[in-house]
Structure 1
Amino acid sequence: MKFATIAALLISAVAASSAAAIPQEQGQGNSYIVVFKTTAATEVMEKVERDILDFGGRIGQRYTTVLKGFSAWIPAQIVEALSTNPFIEYIEKDSKVTIQA
């Protein structure tokens, strides 16, 4: 349990720092974290990345150690379509995370 909490905090910190690499002022769209199921093949992940790029999105940080996924600026018109992909575990809006002690 303690490891899961630490891993979640580390992922959140990385996600927050990578948000700066993907501008949020690019018209209609938002910055998201896309996480794939552990069974998703590399080809599936690459296809999703190409789809995002084809619609004018941008890929940010790629995650391969604790989870399979990436941060991306995704145009609003394809977020819902991506969320129905059976190989995607979840898509979450990227946001700044702070920790206070």
Structure 2
Amino acid sequence: MNAYIVAFKKPEDHPTATDDHISELSKRVEHQGGEIKHVYSSRTMRGFAATMPDALKDEFEANPAIKYVEPDGPVTTQ
């Protein structure tokens, strides 16, 4: 399993990008052996950081309510 950030579109940009949908997909992560590391619930970012199977990541990338799925890791500056 790898770590990813899953960011959802704004509800006004996609009708299924609701808090309930985010909760449903985060439960799927846990049911498939993954772990939710952090939930983002601000106006600027909605989604979660999680470790999850790559197959689930691929499925989420095809979900029209999801803006992007990207690898999670350290961020550094020079």
TM over 0.5: yes
- Taking structure 1 as the reference length, the TM-score comes to 0.67
Structure 2: unaligned runs, 5 residues or longer: 12-16
Q: Distance between the aligned counterparts of 2:55 and 2:39, measured in 1?
A: 22
Greater strand share, structure number: 2
- Taking structure 2 as the reference length, the TM-score comes to 0.85
Structure 1: unaligned runs, 5 residues or longer: 1-28
SS, match of residue 95 in structure 1: coil
Matched-pair identity in %: 33
- Give the alignment's Cα RMSD to 1 decimal: 1.0
The Cα offsets for residues 42-81 of structure 1, whole Å up to 9 and x where unpaired, read as 1110111011111100001111222101100011221111
Q: Stretches of 4+ moved more than 2 A in 1?
A: none
SS, match of residue 73 in structure 2: coil
Greater helix share, structure number: 1
